[in-house]
Chain A
């Protein structure tokens, strides 16, 4: 059955602590992108408490979906499919979105599409500018993941590099916690770093010349050791120097990976893609290498449902709808291709 390229897809995202719903037409035209964040509920715990997250999702899911339809000014009859994140994420959170999406698909008699949250992040930058042709090099940096991924024109993915220990965002959070900064740590370090000297402390750049994998645990440990040894440290300088070390490693390896696959462009993805130093460094690298750079706008970097709807649109083409007996998989993996032949 030929599907129209202009399908209107409702996306739902509840994998962690944002309850989100969005309407996207044709995999790229964002008509609404509603995000109900729970960040205040979790702040006092310095991390996301799964049961608190699950409760908040249940409380907000229907109103969030209603708001997404309202803002998009589409009626239920115009929705061609419902896509929801089925993993990875917190099981009790994922199941709220999956259950809501399947119920809506049942009532509206439209396909249900289960979406991989990471593949959705890969798609986010292209929502901004779909004119960039693959192959693309995607830098996924978040609290849970650090990956260099190649994407081809049919949305097949190859894993080129990944972190061997802490994710980049995790390193930000741990350093922030050690410095007794607010949760979440990433945005706070970014803000303090603006008033600091990134060359004040030369933190290590682990494995800089060595392959495409990452290791951030050592950087975090050096920060902690430095702070212990220098109790009168300047927090702005520490934030700037730590951030510079992480960004330096990320961008150096991303450039190498982009060369390796002959990438037409570099896309940032994931919550750490909101980091201003990383955005600046990737932009600079793109200019130096004559390569286009796509930076998703801030509400598309962090968890959102527009990327889920867009990824669902591609998935509907590549593998068709999912069955209504689908569940959620907290440890769902990206179906990486061993070698895209790039």
Chain B
């Protein structure tokens, strides 16, 4: 298994990224956080990354993708891209959640870590971890609700923790861990791939944690529906 090389893809938040990981760690990575042009940026970035790292597409043994939660359209760009690549390359995939990618950067921390991702509309997606292992289920809640349930020594990470820093002011916010990184997705994928814990692309599904608007709120349906172009 010494020559395993994986591609990590990350588009679930404001950041778009791609990374190549092998047993030596990060081979190369690309991240852009400005302008949210995920669909425009991702595929050329992957091509550039492969070229710069002298990696052939055929060398990739698995693709890891952040399946969310996060921005719906952004994460669908990553899923459509990574699943199509895995299909065309006939290689397996590893699904990583945004929480897992964020929390994987805090294995060194022995305090409880809460990954908090901005969910808009005054809410955040959240999940708790200790030393990179999940403590509870993923959920969506107001920042105030999260704060009220926090352990005294809990550390918060993610763009939701930074956006609502004022709400979380009684706790430590690790302000350098903002978005899930493609490198973290890649490292997670590499570990799973080496352990043989991979799935087919058709088993990879997004984690939305929220129902579509029209389902959630009938009152807004008339403003949501679009006339079908038939």
The residues of A with any CB-CB pair to B shorter than 8 Å are 15-17, 42, 45-52, 54-55, 57-59, 61-63, 65-66, 76, 88-92, 95-104, 106-108, 117, 142-145, 167, 169-170, 173, 184, 186, 270-272, 302-303, 323-328
Q: A103's contact among B40, B81, B206, by CB below 8 Å, is which?
A: B81
Secondary structure dominating the interface of A = helix
Q: Are A92 and B80 in contact (CB under 8 A)?
A: no
Residue B88 at the chain A interface, CB threshold 8 Å = yes
Residues of A within 8 A of B202 (CB): 62-63
**How far, in whole Å, are A272 and B212 apart by their CA atoms in the complex?**
29
Q: Are A328 and B39 in contact (CB under 8 A)?
A: yes
Q: Are B229 and A106 in contact (CB under 8 A)?
A: no
Going nearest first, the 5 A-B pairs with the smallest beta carbon separation are A271-B230, A47-B225, A144-B229, A51-B212, A107-B88
* Distance in Å: Cβ of A271 to nearest Cβ of chain B: 2
Q: Are B228 and A327 in contact (CB under 8 A)?
A: no
Provided the pairs A302-B230, A303-B230 are in contact, do residues A104 and B76 lie with their beta carbons within 8 angstroms? Answer: no
**How far, in whole Å, are A44 and B84 apart by their CA atoms in the complex?**
31
Chain A residue nearest in CB terms to B224: A49
* Distance in Å: Cβ of B214 to nearest Cβ of chain A: 4
**How far, in whole Å, are A328 and B202 apart by their CA atoms in the complex?**
25
Residues of B within 8 A of A59 (CB): 205
**How far, in whole Å, are A91 and B76 apart by their CA atoms in the complex?**
12
**How far, in whole Å, are A275 and B107 apart by their CA atoms in the complex?**
62
* Distance in Å: Cβ of A148 to nearest Cβ of chain B: 17
**How far, in whole Å, are A157 and B41 apart by their CA atoms in the complex?**
31
Residue B109 at the chain A interface, CB threshold 8 Å = no
Chain B residue nearest in CB terms to A98: B39
Provided the pairs A16-B228, A170-B227, A184-B230 are in contact, do residues A66 and B87 lie with their beta carbons within 8 angstroms? Answer: yes
- 20 additional A-B pairs beyond A142-B229, A143-B228, A327-B40, beta carbons within 8 Å, are A16-B226, A16-B228, A45-B214, A49-B224, A49-B226, A51-B213, A58-B79, A62-B87, A76-B88, A95-B39, A96-B77, A99-B42, A100-B80, A103-B43, A104-B88, A169-B229, A184-B228, A186-B230, A303-B230, A325-B40
Residue-wise, chain B 188-225 has the 8 Å CB interface mask toward A (1 for contact) of: 00000000000001100110100011110000010011
Chain A residue nearest in CB terms to B229: A144
* Distance in Å: Cβ of A236 to nearest Cβ of chain B: 22
Q: Are B206 and A58 in contact (CB under 8 A)?
A: yes
Q: What are 25 of the A-B contact pairs (CB < 8 Å)?
A: A50-B226, A51-B224, A55-B76, A55-B206, A55-B212, A57-B80, A58-B80, A58-B206, A62-B80, A62-B83, A96-B77, A99-B39, A99-B43, A99-B76, A99-B80, A100-B84, A103-B80, A103-B88, A106-B47, A107-B85, A142-B229, A143-B228, A169-B230, A173-B228, A271-B230
**How far, in whole Å, are A50 and B229 apart by their CA atoms in the complex?**
13
* Distance in Å: Cβ of B59 to nearest Cβ of chain A: 13
Residue B164 at the chain A interface, CB threshold 8 Å = no
Residues of B within 8 A of A48 (CB): 225-228
